[in-house]
Structure 1
Amino acid sequence: MLVQEKEYVRSLFVQEDEVLKGIAAGLAERDMPQISVPPEVGKTLYLLTKISGAKKVLEIGTLGGYSTIWLARALPEDGKVVSLELKQKHADFAMENLTKAGLDTRVSFMVGDAADSLSQLTQRNERFQFIFIDADKMNYLHYLEKAIELAEPGAIIAADNLFMGGKILDESYQGPSPVAVREFNRRIATDPRLESILLTIGDGLGICRVK
């Protein structure tokens, strides 16, 4: 999406409140990476969650809680987001933002290695209607398999950064992350358990429906 098109979409379709607007500044103050999803992706996640009728959402990768807020706002009063985050300081900052947004009771965190947290969720026979993957790219394939395992039939799985700033389109990039994401994209395109599309918004947003 061209810069002019992005600004048009954001100005017309995405209304960020002060909590969402303040997250970038808070990340900068805490020397945390500025890798939250862009506003139009946040709104897309919100709409997909709403349309799916999800009551239970799994998020893999929290950071400052920007996408978490969009997801939680799409849920009914009795809905719940389970968010997996590697670092406690990120989860703490995210909870600050969720509290400001009045959503702290709708979100719980599992802090630590996402693979371990996913194994715990599997052992507890947890099931989700919407799953968002936005974490370390080298483990995207593992996260996808666990997401399918944890998904109810008809659940939506979304994944961010599937263009990796254009590296996916340039085969000269052979680092572990681009290689992993290229394989992830091929997998969601061909896996018989899924119906999928890659949207050209943000840095590439994959959308899958679990059959």
Structure 2
Amino acid sequence: MVSKLGSSSDPIDRYIFEHSIRLTDEQNEIIQYTSTLPGRLPRMLGSVDEAQFFQLIIQSMGCKRCIEIGTFTGYTALAIASVLPSDGHLFTCDIDDQYIRQDIWKKAGVDEKITVKLGPAVDSLKTLLEENGPESFDFIFIDADKANYLEYYQLAVELVRVNGLVAIDNTLWGGKVIDETDTSKETEAIRKINNFVRDDPRVDISFLRLGDGTTLCRKK
């Protein structure tokens, strides 16, 4: 099991996994496929507990229009699309479709609810803003290259409606954010977005120890 929670040796994590996580056959298929990828790529799989949490939020809010920034193999996209209503839609952005398992989306019966936007995500978000206008989406999930996190966030705040949510992944970055000796570009980018969101008067926030750190931002 590649999922962060499912592979943890912490007994509390194991207990949470065994007593809450519900995976479909298609979700398991994407998890297993991701585990076969070379190098450190399997570590990029979204957290299963985080994706399931998003499913609860999306259903509770009655979300119909969502954006995901960073598709990878398509696990979180599958989770989100599976709880959208029949007239709901997810736009998912990635630089290319090398690893996206759209065949599994089709098997799960959600492929028609997902549009893949290929190319630099900043450009895709600007296009979505031009085509749909501001405040036209209910839920936006940011989980892509860290260097552009702040720009993704700024565009997401424009795109999301009042009382909509922007969720930011990897905001703990494996604990590196509190390691003062770590001055790598990705760690600094995470610190930058965390500091910016903390002080952003446009949103209310909740910073959770979920997955690798998940920050929820409700647009006021």
Letter in structure 1 aligned against 2:110: L
Counterpart of 2:52 (choices 43, 46, 49) is 43
SS of the residue 1:182 aligns to? helix
The alpha carbon displacement at 1:76 in A equals 1.1
1:79 to 79, 84, 88: 88
Shift of 1:30: 4.8
CA distance in 1 between partners of 2:180 and 2:107 (Å): 44
**Quick check: 2:34–2:45 contact (8 Å CA) kept in 1?**
no
Work out which of the residue numbers 201, 207, 215 in structure 2 matches 1:192: 201
Distance in 1, matches of 2:57 and 2:12, equals 21
Give the counterpart of 1:128 among 126, 137, 146: 137
Cα offset, 1:19, TM superposition = 1.1
Structure 2 residue 11 is the aligned partner of structure 1 residue 4: yes
- The secondary structure found in structure 2 opposite 1:88 is coil
TM-score if structure 2 supplies the norm length? 0.90
Aligned 1:160-199 pairs, distance under 5 A: 160-199=169-208
Q: Secondary structure at the match of 2:99?
A: helix
Q: How many residues align?
A: 209
- Root-mean-square deviation (CA, aligned residues, Å) is 1.6
Q: Which runs of 4+ in 1 moved over 2 A?
A: 27-32
CA distance in 2, matches of 1:72, 1:80: 7
Q: In the alignment, does 2:122 pair up with 1:101? A: no
**Structure 2 unmatched runs, 5+:** none
Amino acid at match of 2:123: D
Question: Structure 2 CA distance, aligned partners of 1:197 and 1:28?
Answer: 31
Counting only pairs closer than 5 Å after superposition, residues 143-154 of structure 1 correspond to structure 2 as 143-154=152-163
> What is the TM-score with the length of structure 1 in the denominator?
0.94
Tell me, yes or no, if the aligned pair for 1:23 and 1:66 is still in contact at 8 Å: yes
Which range is displaced more, 1-10 or 138-147? Answer: 1-10
